[in-house]
C-alpha cells in the first residue's frame, strides 16, 4: 500500500460515485422528503440490523412520529413498543432521548452542526457524522462496517478490517475524503452502498465492482484473512434471546404484566431472572409493586 492514499482516493471517487448514481437502492430515508429526522431514525435502526427488517418499522415509525417533537411527547416505553423485533432495543430509548433533547434544545429541528449532533444523548461519532453527511451534505468520514470493509480491501489489501475501528482506519478515511463537500457526502453514501451490495463480507461480487482493477486485495490475489478470528453473531439460547422474548410479552400487553406471564417465556429461571434484571437496569422495563412489570413511562 502506498504511504499516501490521497492519489488513490481521487482515482476511487469518480467510479464509485458513478456506480452509486446508477445502482443505489431507492430507500425512503434517501428521498428528499425524509428530511434530517428521517435520516436520523434510519441510522439508529440500521445499526446491526439489515435494511429488509428496518423498512417496515421505519415506515410505521415515521408515519406515527414525523417530527422529533411527536416522539418526545410519548412515554419512552412507546418507543420500545414500536421498535418491534429490530433487536438491541436500547436504541429505541436512545432515539427517544435524542428526540426530547432536539425538542428542548433545538426547537424540534435536528441540529445541523456535527458537534451539536454529537452532544445529543445516544449519538456517537458514527451517527453524528452520518446525519451531518447524509442529511446536510457535509464533509465527514462516515465509517460503518461496510465502508471499513471496502477500504480494507481496496486500499489496505486485506480481506477484513479489524474487529474494532482503529486510529489507522480513521486516518485513512480522512485521507480518502474528497475536498469538495458535496462530493464528500456522495462518496460517503456510495462507498457504504458498495460494501452493502457488492463488496460484501461473504461472496463478494468483484465482477460488478467499479474499482476491481484498482483494488489492492484483488491485485494481491485475494489473500485470506490473517488477523484475529472474526466475531460471530450468536443468538439462540443467549440472554439476548431471553430479553427479546420478555420484551415481546410487554410490548403486546396493554396493562402491566404479572411475573407469572414472564416466567412462561423461558424455562431456565436463573437466565430468565438475569435477563429481566438486565432489562430493568437498562431502563427498558419498569418494575411495579405486586410483582408487575411494564414498559417505561418516564
Residues labelled catalytic: 43
Q: Are 50 and 57 in contact (CB under 8 A)?
A: no
Amino acid at each position: 500500500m502506498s504511504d499516501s492514499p490521497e492519489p488513490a482516493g481521487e482515482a476511487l471517487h469518480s467510479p464509485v460515485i458513478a456506480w452509486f448514481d446508477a445502482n443505489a437502492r431507492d430507500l425512503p430515508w434517501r428521498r428528499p422528503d425524509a428530511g434530517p429526522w428521517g435520516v436520523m431514525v434510519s441510522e439508529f435502526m440500521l445499526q446491526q440490523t439489515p435494511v429488509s427488517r428496518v423498512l417496515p418499522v421505519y415506515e410505521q415509525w415515521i408515519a406515527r412520529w414525523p417530527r422529533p417533537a411527536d416522539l418526545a411527547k410519548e412515554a419512552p416505553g412507546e418507543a420500545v413498543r414500536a421498535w418491534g423485533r429490530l433487536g438491541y432495543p436500547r436504541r429505541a430509548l436512545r432515539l427517544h432521548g435524542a428526540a426530547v433533547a432536539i425538542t428542548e434544545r433545538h426547537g424540534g429541528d435536528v441540529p445541523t452542526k456535527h458537534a451539536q449532533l454529537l452532544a445529543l444523548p445516544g449519538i456517537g461519532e458514527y451517527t453524528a457524522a452520518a446525519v451531518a453527511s447524509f442529511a446536510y451534505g457535509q464533509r465527514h468520514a462516515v465509517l460503518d462496517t461496510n465502508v471499513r470493509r471496502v477500504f480494507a480491501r481496496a486500499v489496505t489489501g486485506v480481506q477484513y478490517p479489524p474487529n474494532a475501528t482503529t486510529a489507522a482506519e480513521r486516518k485513512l478515511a480522512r485521507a480518502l475524503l474528497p475536498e469538495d463537500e458535496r462530493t464528500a457526502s456522495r462518496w460517503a453514501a456510495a462507498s457504504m452502498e458498495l460494501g452493502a451490495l457488492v463488496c460484501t463480507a461473504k461472496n463478494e461480487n468483484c465482477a460488478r465492482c467499479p474499482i476491481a482493477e484498482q483494488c489492492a486485495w484483488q491485485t494481491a490475489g485475494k489473500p485470506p484473512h490473517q488477523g484475529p478470528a472474526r466475531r460471530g453473531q450468536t443468538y439462540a439460547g443467549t440472554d439476548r434471546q431471553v430479553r427479546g422474548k420478555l420484551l415481546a410479552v410487554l410490548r403486546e400487553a396493554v396493562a402491566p404484566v404479572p411475573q407469572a406471564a414472564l416466567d412462561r417465556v423461558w424455562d431456565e429461571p436463573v437466565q430468565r431472572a438475569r435477563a429481566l434484571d438486565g432489562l430493568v437496569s437498562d431502563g427498558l422495563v419498569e418494575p411495579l409493586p405486586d410483582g408487575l412489570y411494564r414498559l417505561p413511562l418516564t
